Structure 1
Amino acid sequence: MVTQSKKPAPDTARRSERSRRAIYDAALGLVAEAGYPKTTVEGIAARAGVGKQTIYRWWGSKADVLLEAFLDLSEQAAADAGQVSYAIPDTGDLAADLKLVLRLTVDQMADPRFDAPSRALAAEGLVNEQLGREFVAKLLEPQLQLYVTRLRSAQHAGQVRADVDPRIALELFVSPLAQRWLQHTGPITHEYTDTLVDYALFGLAPR
């Protein structure tokens, strides 16, 4: 008697992961092409090839989808670079280390994959308080803490005054860059961020 082998049960976890990745790609792609206001849950679902109910089962809004997709994109970029997460090197030369990481930030800002969704999240976070808090907690603050860690290391090495608050000091070069990027007040270049570091570390008074 010949028995028929049973078909393997569908791998729901793998299927869910494929759907999730398709939704990430769809959300990021639509925001880049059409802008945040014209991106809808229906549009994301259609582009990802899933039902709208699938998205609402995992996320509460298109903003939630975009935030998670952008976080995943950042993690993937770090993995592609062979890093667990972005980090600021500590070579002993504080100025060189800060200039390096800020140049990498400039390059990322110029990448359309990052530019459109990050602008959309920053703008939506101003009017959507919950999203704004999540954007800061999950994306912005962890990156700022990398600067805090590097500046504290410089303090221990005697390169930065002991009374300086690293969390405030980092704003001398991070905040002007963010403002110029958000408001389009000038070009975002390596030379610009190098100058920010020089001004922040060495001041404006004659030496």
Structure 2
Amino acid sequence: MLFHYHFWTPYVEETEKFYEDNGFRISQRIGRYQGEFQEFNPPLKWEDFREKNILFRIIEARKGTINITFGYGKRIMFDHIGFLVSDKEREKICENAVKLSWKVDKRERRTFISTPYHFRIELQTNTDVVDSLNSKINLQELKLETKKAGLESDLLTLFGTSKNRVYSEIGDVVTIKQAIINNLISSPIVDPNGVRIINE
């Protein structure tokens, strides 16, 4: 199940406000402050720490079966998309990634697959990364911009199905152009990192 995307962005506070204004719950904020990583999770608000010069590594916004994360970067940079899978599905997808000669990085909490399209794919088996598996609010589809053709056929090989709901168009940058989200209040809207969100 497609559930996730991650950006690096200079617009960290603006991105958080955008998703919060559209009904997402901020569940986590982790940033480097005075040389070490610390948590600045809600109920803390930006007024409580804005002047502290925190370098945010990750801020997590959740709604239904969707988990969107972002952290500080000097420029907007799309990093990865994520899928919730079973242990069995993960093993098969990893085998397929090896056949494609894609690098697989298995970690304790999640697995990352590096693609030749200059973004990564996260495989997540822990269902606690979303608020509800039964919600009607979900990430229906993503349209990516990539610099080379072939993504759809490679994803078919990787997942063994065309139901991964990720599509692409050729362009000058690697990013997410559009996300279709079920049961979102506003539509269409554009987040601070250029992702056009459509309610379906």
Q: Which one has the bigger strand percentage?
A: 2
TM-score, normalised with respect to structure 2:
0.26
Greater relative contact order, per chain length (Cα 8 Å cut-off, separation 6+): 2
Q: Which one has the bigger helix percentage?
A: 1
